[in-house]
Amino acid sequence: MQTRAASVRDIARDDWDRLANPPGTEFNPLVCHDFFRALEQSGSATARTGWAARHIVETDGPGRIAGIAPCYLKSHSQGEYVFDHGWADAFHRAGGRYYPKLQVAVPFTPVTGERLFAASAATRKSLATGLIDQCAEDRASSIHVTFLPERDWQALGAGPWLRRNDIQFHWHNQGYDSFGDFLKTLSAQKRKNIRKERETVGNAGLTFECLTGSDIKEKHWDAFFRFYMDTGSRKWGRPYLTRAFFSLVGESMSKHILLVIAIRSGRMVAGALNFIGSHALYGRNWGALEHHPCLHFETCYYQAMEFAIARKLTRVEAGAQGGRHKLSRGYLPQKTWSLHYLAHPGLSRAVAQYLEAEREGVDLESAALAAHSPFRQESEF
């Protein structure tokens, strides 16, 4: 049986986390109950901001929760990182109504992870069917399941579901003992460039604190929120996360947080928020009040890589966008996966044709980017 929950708080934390991070799999803090609760409780992802919760809950015979799909009824396409604005515009021009739509996602979080929380493939398929029923009930135009695992993309991407790919950039820790070991694997020019960038930051009088757990205080969140608002307002126009969100995750998830703070002349001037998984470090937000050459690269990329090496994490996922900058600094292209259901047959056919061509383009781009790897070729060894 399937029901709908209007808030993550209507679902027991233990049930949510048991299915979102099953035993024996990589732990991803960004699908945890605490993260979703902070988004909703802080007012960041609510009906008022265009994220009305429609979480699907499936129970088995005895009433035990067997599956959850974290789902939102949306009145816009902001904060998703898989862009469908062109589809919405085309449908509106043809006389259709694109909003509301259903979004199965972690709001404002372009990180691959479980989206159909379930212990079995059969339950994931049942959740996908339930989403289509929910789409009809809400008179939504479409369903978008973004940043799901390739496993589910392959298993469910047939019939009414359309497949889409994009590219992110991840840094992989090849068992390095130090940042210097990583630099040795790069071409001479790339190695020289990174050393020069780090020297530039140091010469500007910038130092860094990497804070986790109880070392993160409210004064750090106050400073980070100023960074986030300043940079986000200039980049996006309206940052998504409220000040309360950072205190909530700081209270409930501090052991899974790495907060990098840049300091100059005793003043906190920039920072980057990362979440710590069992295998990966997930870079999420950054901001700065002062602007110095290479400050972004040091705060977001190099400090994260050094932390991953020290913690023996296998990779750093630095979020969306900035591909060329990331590639030259050792972050390599990685495909991401999404599924889309469009209720209108004509719109679905048109988007299916577009996505077929787009997937070919993503494959070509991936190959071209891989050919520009910053790592040394065999002839350089």
| Domain assignment of residue 326, yes or no | no
| Confidence (pLDDT) at 321 | 73
- Say if residue 100 is in the same domain as residue 217: no
Angle of helix 345-370 relative to helix 85-93, nearest 10 degrees?
150
- Say if residue 160 is in the same domain as residue 199: no
- Say if residue 150 is in the same domain as residue 48: yes
- Say if residue 80 is in the same domain as residue 46: yes
pLDDT surpasses 50 at 47: yes
The structure tokens listed for 259 are 């907060």
Place of tokens 């109950």: 33
Q: What is the pLDDT of residues 361-371, one digit of tens each?
A: 999 999 998 88
| Domain assignment of residue 329, yes or no | no
User: Which one, of 154, 147, 159, lies nearest residue 103 by Cα?
Assistant: 147
| Residue 111: band (very low, low, confident or very high) from pLDDT cuts 50, 70, 90 | very high
What's the structural domain count of the chain? Answer: 2
**Residues of the chain with pLDDT > 90: what percent?**
89
- Say if residue 226 is in the same domain as residue 86: no
| Domain assignment of residue 290, yes or no | yes
| Confidence (pLDDT) at 237 | 61
- Say if residue 161 is in the same domain as residue 87: yes
Span 126-134, average pLDDT:
97
- Say if residue 227 is in the same domain as residue 289: yes
Q: What is the pLDDT of residues 320-354, one digit of tens each?
A: 776 778 999 999 999 999 999 999 999 999 999 99
- Say if residue 294 is in the same domain as residue 350: no
Q: What is the enclosing helix (H) or strand (E) of 196?
A: helix 188-203
Residues 6+ apart with CB under 8 A from 346: 94
Span 251-272, average pLDDT:
98
The structure tokens listed for 300 are 């977001």
Cβ distance 220 to 87 under 8 Å? Answer: no
At residue 78, the 3 state secondary structure works out as coil
- Say if residue 308 is in the same domain as residue 239: yes
DSSP state of 72: E
Of 282, 313, 344, which residue is a domain's last? 313
| Domain assignment of residue 328, yes or no | no
pTM of the model: 0.95
- Say if residue 6 is in the same domain as residue 98: yes
CATH number at residue 343: 3.40.630.30
Q: What is the pLDDT of residues 287-310, one digit of tens each?
A: 999 999 999 999 999 999 999 999
Cβ distance 150 to 115 under 8 Å? Answer: no
> What count of Cα atoms within 13 Å lies in the side-chain half-sphere of residue 282?
19
| Domain assignment of residue 299, yes or no | yes
Of 265, 281, 313, which residue is a domain's last? 313
- Say if residue 205 is in the same domain as residue 252: yes
Place of tokens 């048109």: 350
Q: What is the pLDDT of residues 132-170, one digit of tens each?
A: 999 999 999 999 999 999 999 999 988 899 999 999 999
| Domain assignment of residue 116, yes or no | yes
| Domain assignment of residue 136, yes or no | yes
| Residue 214: band (very low, low, confident or very high) from pLDDT cuts 50, 70, 90 | very high
Q: How many residues does the chain have?
A: 381
Residue-number span of the structural domain to which 268 is assigned: 174-313
Q: What is the pLDDT of residues 86-110, one digit of tens each?
A: 999 999 999 999 999 999 999 999 9
| Domain assignment of residue 265, yes or no | yes
pLDDT surpasses 70 at 175: yes
- Say if residue 304 is in the same domain as residue 346: no
| Residue 381: band (very low, low, confident or very high) from pLDDT cuts 50, 70, 90 | very low
